[in-house]
Chains A and B, each alone.
Chain A
Amino acid sequence: MAQVGAWVGAVITAPLRGFARLLDVPLRVWQRLAGQNGMAAFFLLPNMAIFGIFVLFPLGLNIAYSLTSGGALFLADRNFAGLGQYQRLLTCADYTNLLSCQEDQFWTALGNTALFVVVQVTALIVLATATALILNRELRARSFWRAVFFFPVLLSPVVVGLIWRWILDRNGVLNAGLVAVGLDPVNWLLDRNFAFAAAVGVTIWAHLGFFALILLAGLQAIPRDLYEAAEMDGTRPARVFWRITLPLLMPNMLVVIVLALIRAVQVFDEAFVLTGGGPGTATLFLTQYIYEVGFASLLKNPGLAAAASILMGGVLVVLTLLQLALGRRNERKAKLK
């Protein structure tokens, strides 16, 4: 059996070995010419090329589009508008009245997104922390429960949206249940408040497992001795949580908060499949606004959509820099321990 394995292995590695031999001489020559740093750059080149083609180039293109106006698709056919699109997005006659804004839909989407971020991230963090605390206990079938909470993370966002639409729809499972017990059906997704709450709830359900897992890893890294020391000191459970668990969980918690913020700002797929931004504009979020303006509306305006996405990108860059800074701070703290 072992001989067969070795034989199969040799067959698989033979072409790779041949390929490596082919590359050996030119790579050595290149290394002599370029030095060690040059070699590092050489190996990074394929990845940088992919990053350049799929990230940097579209980013540049987006910035260029945001400085143009008109409905033409190709950049060469578009008119240069300077910062006009940004001005259109941000100009309001009266900032206390969104209807006075040139792009009132943008402001509505911005307001919805801001509210979504605050409500969803807060609820998500609280629930993920509670879930992690429960899963960290010595439960019966703990692995099963962890899998249950993590399972939705594996689903495509569109599938998540569809599942919940089937549940919350006027003719959905939930209403069928209500009718079965003699209650009136509710138009969950046609009520502004219910629809917004549904968008919040569904995105929490979909992402909870991921964030709970990060927090669980943090909880498991807290030495048990600390809890026993607190027990010997007669510390009440609430004080143990606030004074021991939470401070020691903070590195993971900060990562979770920033990641959750980034995801919440980007909210689109689950909410769009679930409510389509409605009823009215109750669940119209920034990403959907950009999609509608750039691709879906009758009067497409790629320049305006590009400008809105650059503004949203700016917020995400700030959040990402915050995450990187926190990561570096955690690293420094870990070295101090």
Chain B
Amino acid sequence: MGRIVLKDIRKTYGAVDVLKGIDLEVAEGELVVFVGPSGCGKSTLLRMIAGLDRPTTGTIEIDGVDVTARGAADRGLAMVFQSYALYPHMTVRANMAFGLQNTKMAKAEIDARIAEAARMLEIEPLLDRRPGQLSGGQRQRVAIGRAIVRRPTAFLLDEPLSNLDAELRVSMRAELSALHDRLGATMIHVTHDQVEAMTMADRIVVLRAGKVEQVDTPLGLYNRPANLFVAGFIGAPGMNLWAGRAGASGFTLDGGQVLPVAAQGATTLGLRPQHLRLDPAGPLVAQVTLVEALGAESVIHADLAGGQKLLAVLPGQPDLARGASVRFGFDPGHAHLFGADGLRAAA
């Protein structure tokens, strides 16, 4: 249970097309992450699935049933909000019980479900506190607990980690993934943080300006981005994308440097910063403008001839001074090639 199918979902506010025809299938038990920049429509799409907003056209099916016209309560879904949306005047226990009481469930059953969820999320000592007396991480757990007790067909998570500090976000990320494994439920998670998407998702849906740019596994997106947007969006720091032209001897950058890459028809060559290495015989010559030493690795900012920027992540703490001219090499197999239309060129 928990298969969700979106067919040509469109949403228009006045003259603005927020969603421009989304088709997607989320398999039962899958953890799918919607990722994209602000305003791409990911939260709007999640709200449509939740039933909090209606699509202008298109259909939403859950387990084969068209639920497009159904209200939020009749879809069997549970949502965890960015703000957690806990009722501030109720205790944690009352927050978790509230939705179940609406269904006239027996008190013993409600208590049993709360106890089970509280044990799972390790929030038992917090049950009689109010949200105002909890830390951000604890509120987050309570919000998840409130969703769990309903035993929904699928969980919808709207940027649930964005209000947490960096350290807590990392641990909650792992906990959410573990929870997904334990519950085996379908989850749709919205985030603008691509690291969150990469670490948690079974599949990632990359959205931009109301359209799906690519749907794939995290490593599929990383290794074979379908277009320039995905190439630039996935991976941190972002992929180097250099303009140039393909020729018989390889790919010639706009600055004149020739890279030994077979690149028929390509106009942009992409290379991840992690795939560059210092190489005295390398084909890329660049002038260092900034070195960010992070300890275990260093991020090198440099200018190529012709003004294009180069970003490299090198292991350790290489002795590079600002202004130094450095040669970089790479494995041609790591190069990503894109045509004038922005799409991935055939290798």
Contacts and interface: CB of A to CB of B under 8 A. Distances in A.
A and B are interacting partners: yes
Interface of A: 223, 225-226, 228-236, 239, 243-244, 247-248, 336-337
A232 B88 contact: no
5 contacts: A229-B81, A232-B50, A232-B99, A236-B102, A248-B88
B85 interface: yes
Interface string B307-342: 000000000000000000000000000000000000
A223 B85 CA distance: 8
Q: What is the interface residue range for chain B against chain A?
A: 20 to 34
A225 B77 CA distance: 16
Interface stretch (B8-16, B68-76, B194-202): B68-76
Given A228-B52, A229-B79, A235 B85 contact: no
A166 B200 CA distance: 73
A139 B71 CA distance: 22
Interface string B130-151: 1011000000000000100010
Given A232-B52, A243-B87, 15 more contacts: A225-B83, A225-B85, A229-B81, A230-B98, A232-B73, A232-B79, A233-B73, A233-B98, A234-B73, A234-B99, A239-B102, A244-B87, A248-B88, A248-B89, A336-B133
Contact of A233 (B83, B102, B130, B132): B102
Contacts of B103: 234
Interface of B: 50-52, 71-74, 77-79, 81-83, 85, 87-89, 98-99, 102-103, 130, 132-133, 146, 150
Contact of B88 (A228, A234, A239, A337): A337
B160 to A, nearest CB: 12
A230 B99 CA distance: 7
A307 B133 CA distance: 50
Given A223-B83, A225-B85, A235 B102 contact: yes
A228 B143 CA distance: 13
Given A234-B73, A234-B99, A229 B85 contact: yes
A232 B78 contact: yes
A234 B73 CA distance: 4
Contacts of A230: 98
Residue among A231, A232, A234, A248 with the most chain B CB within 10 A? A232
Contacts of A226: 85, 87
Contacts of A232: 50-52, 72-73, 77-79, 99
Contacts of B133: 336
A228 B50 CA distance: 10
B132 A337 contact: yes
Interface centre among B74, B77, B98 (most CB of A within 10 A): B98
A236 B51 CA distance: 16
Nearest to B147: A232
Nearest to A236: B102
B78 to A, nearest CB: 7
Nearest to A227: B85
Contacts of B150: 233
Contacts of B74: 234
Contacts of B89: 247-248
Nearest to A247: B89
A336 to B, nearest CB: 5
List 4 tightest A-B contacts by C-beta distance, closest first.
A234-B73, A233-B99, A225-B85, A229-B85
A102 B99 CA distance: 61
A228 to B, nearest CB: 5
B135 to A, nearest CB: 14
A221 B81 CA distance: 18
A121 to B, nearest CB: 24
B57 to A, nearest CB: 23
Q: Taking each of B74, B102, B150, which has the highest tally of chain A beta carbons within 10 Å of its own beta carbon? A: B102
Contacts of A247: 89
B48 to A, nearest CB: 13
A232 B143 CA distance: 13
Nearest to B71: A231
B307 to A, nearest CB: 41
A228 B79 CA distance: 9
Given A233-B98, A233-B99, A235-B98, A228 B81 contact: yes
Nearest to A239: B102
Contact of B72 (A225, A231, A244): A231
Contacts of B83: 223, 225
Contacts of B73: 231-235
Contact of A234 (B81, B85, B102, B146): B102
B52 A243 contact: no
B145 to A, nearest CB: 13
Nearest to B75: A232
